[in-house]
Chain A
Amino acid sequence: MSATKSLKKTGSELAQANKQLEILSGGIFKDELPTFAKKIKETNQLPLRPRKLEILQINVGYMCNQVCDHCHVDAGPDRREIMTWDTMEQCLEVIRNTGAHTLDLTGGAPEMNPNFRRFVEEASKAGIKDFIVRSNLTIIRANKKYYDLPDFFKKHNVHVVSSMPHWTRGKTDKQRGDGVFDKSIKALQELNERGYGMPGSDLRLDLVYNPSGAFLPGDQASMEKDFKKALMEDFGIQFHSLFAITNLPIARFLDYLIASENYEDYMYQLVEAYNPMAVQNVMCTNTISISWDGYLFDCDFNQMLQLPVNSKVKHISQYNEEVLQDRDIVISQHCYGCTAGAGSSCQGTVA
């Protein structure tokens, strides 16, 4: 059964970033397995440095209507960290002047931020090329006030990216909570009705697959084929691409790995599947992540581990892209999650 409270709410010590980092640096990484820094040094990729900035990923708050087992944010209804309008205005200023071509809004459920729509309206005026909202789908059916979200997304040509762990009810509800599958199907059908995800449509609808347990995602192209066939046959649903994302060993997924005694095996799998080609294109090399309170990170995972950017510029109020781009990316053993196999990023595989 899925959890109903965040780790933070239950007072778990794993809600503390420093405790997670302690686990990721100790144990098997003391003598059995190489640290991530040592591993990328073998292929002369240390220090890891940014390439051209392409994506601004803004986390507008950790509140969510779901409490998914694998959540690296430890999001849930009990989280109160929400981006204020003042911080959003600072973000808008950056969006108007950035060299990045993609704006990626995430959470929590980003739609639960009370200023979400106002922010989307203003941000879409900035004319950014690809404007992504990471929607968990069920939010669209969670409350009447969200029912018109598909129309709102369409109006602003928002690219919708949604999580869908499996095409069967059992596996989806196990990870994301009872009833999530049926609500997600209904939401996908509504998006399809607006033209989202249809072949040749400019209204992009992509799905995110991440494994429901302590194993790595399979081949992205094969998974996409299986998802498309099953969702079409069972529900007449269409979508554009499937992004296969590896679960990173932090927050609730780390808690699950430890509780189920899968932690060591999972870390071995990640290290064995290490692919130096994936390091070249890993997400932190083309992304800046901004937290709900305006701090800057190399990625959303580092944000959750409270590992800020290694730069003089630490907050959106001091934003300077040139200074920021001249930095070493902060790494730890969770980074193996993004370099396993074909690699993993918020846009799916990278190698």
Chain B
Amino acid sequence: MADTYYDPKDLRKFGKITEWSEELGTKFFDWYGAVFQEGALSQREKSLIALAVAHTEQCPYCIDAYTKDGLQRGITKEEMMEAVHVGAAIKSGAALVHSTMMMNKVNKLDG
């Protein structure tokens, strides 16, 4: 066991999860691969969505992987940062929009 919970080298081992559950692991990776194929959305657009979600999920492995993926696709750092802001805006908005619940409750109890 490593001294830290996260080790960048573990990202290389991701494929090995299949070894302990071949059927499910294979299904996951097949599906994952299909998701990122060119479709109604381009691979470039999908890469930016993945990067934004990687941040809202706060997954270090995903941030590592999709930052590199973006560079490989020629995506600029300005585009990456804007994508992260979109994710962050939704995350913040999701918190703030719940304040309507608080307002409703205040109004009901103390209106």
Measured CB to CB, the residues of A under 8 A from B are: 166-168, 170-171, 209, 211, 213, 215-219, 222-223, 226-227, 265, 268, 272
Q: How many residues of B contact A (CB 8 A)?
A: 11
On whether A215 and B71 interact (CB within 8 A), knowing A168-B76, A171-B76, A268-B12, the answer reads: yes
> Is A222 touching B43 in the complex (CB atoms < 8 A)?
yes
Measured CB to CB, the residues of B under 8 A from A are: 8, 12, 42-44, 68, 71-74, 76
Interface centre among A218, A219, A226, A268 (most CB of B within 10 A): A218
Total A-B pairs, Cβ < 8 A: 31
> Is A218 touching B12 in the complex (CB atoms < 8 A)?
no
Contact of B72 among A167, A170, A215 (CB under 8 A): A215
Q: What B residues does A223 contact at CB under 8 A? A: 73-74
> Is A222 touching B44 in the complex (CB atoms < 8 A)?
yes
Taking the nearest CB of chain A, how far is it from the CB of B6, in angstroms?
15
Contact of A166 among B12, B42, B43, B74 (CB under 8 A): B74
> Is A213 touching B71 in the complex (CB atoms < 8 A)?
yes
> Is A218 touching B76 in the complex (CB atoms < 8 A)?
no
What 4 pairs across the A-B complex have the smallest Cβ distances?
A218-B72, A218-B73, A215-B71, A215-B72
Q: What B residues does A227 contact at CB under 8 A? A: 74
Within the assembled complex, what's the spacing in Å between the Cα atoms of A219 and B8? 25
Q: What A residues does B73 contact at CB under 8 A? A: 218-219, 222-223
> Is A215 touching B76 in the complex (CB atoms < 8 A)?
no
Q: What A residues does B74 contact at CB under 8 A? A: 166-167, 209, 218, 223, 226-227
> Is A217 touching B12 in the complex (CB atoms < 8 A)?
no
Q: What A residues does B42 contact at CB under 8 A? A: 222
Within the assembled complex, what's the spacing in Å between the Cα atoms of A171 and B71? 11
Within the assembled complex, what's the spacing in Å between the Cα atoms of A219 and B42? 12
